[in-house]
Chains A and B, each alone.
Chain A
Amino acid sequence: MNIHIDIDNFLQTPQVVLFGMLGVFVALLVIYGSILILSRAFRNNGKKNSDVTKD
Chain B
Amino acid sequence: MADIFSNVLEIRWEMVLMWIIGGVLIWLAISKDMEPTLLLPMGFGAILANLPTSGAVTQIINGNTEEGVLDVLFNAGIANELFPLLLFIGIGAMIDFGPLLSNPKMLLFGAAAQFGIFFTFALAALLGFDLKDAASIGIIGAADGPTSIFVANYFNSNYIGAIIVAAYSYMALVPIIQPPVIRLITTKKERLIKMPYEQKNVSTAVRILFPIVTTAIVGILAPRSVALVGFLMFGNLLRECKVLRILSDSAQKELANLITILLGITIASKMRWDLFVKVDTLIIILLGLVAFVFDTIGGVLFAKFLNLFSKKKINPMVGAAGISAFPMSSRVIHKMGLKEDPTNFLLMHAAGANVAGQIASVVAGGVMIALVEKLI
Contact = CB atoms under 8 A, between A and B. Distances in A.
Interface string B214-231: 100110011000000000
Contact of A1 (B110, B129, B221, B249): B129
Interface of B: 96, 98, 100-102, 104-105, 107-108, 110-112, 114-115, 117-119, 121-122, 125-131, 134-135, 200-207, 209-210, 213-214, 217-218, 221-222, 239, 245, 248-249, 278-280, 283, 356, 359-360, 363-364, 367-368, 370-372, 375
28 contacts: A1-B129, A3-B127, A3-B283, A5-B126, A6-B128, A9-B130, A12-B131, A13-B121, A13-B122, A13-B125, A15-B371, A16-B118, A16-B121, A16-B135, A20-B371, A21-B111, A23-B363, A23-B370, A24-B360, A28-B110, A30-B221, A32-B107, A32-B108, A35-B104, A42-B206, A42-B209, A43-B203, A55-B239
B125 A6 contact: yes
Contacts of A13: 121-122, 125-126, 131, 134
Given A16-B122, A25-B112, A35-B206, 9 more contacts: A4-B128, A10-B125, A12-B131, A23-B370, A31-B104, A34-B217, A42-B203, A50-B203, A55-B245
Contact of B121 (A3, A17, A19, A51): A17
B115 A21 contact: yes
Given A25-B111, A42-B209, A16 B371 contact: yes
Given A2-B128, A35-B104, A38-B206, A19 B217 contact: no
B107 A19 contact: no
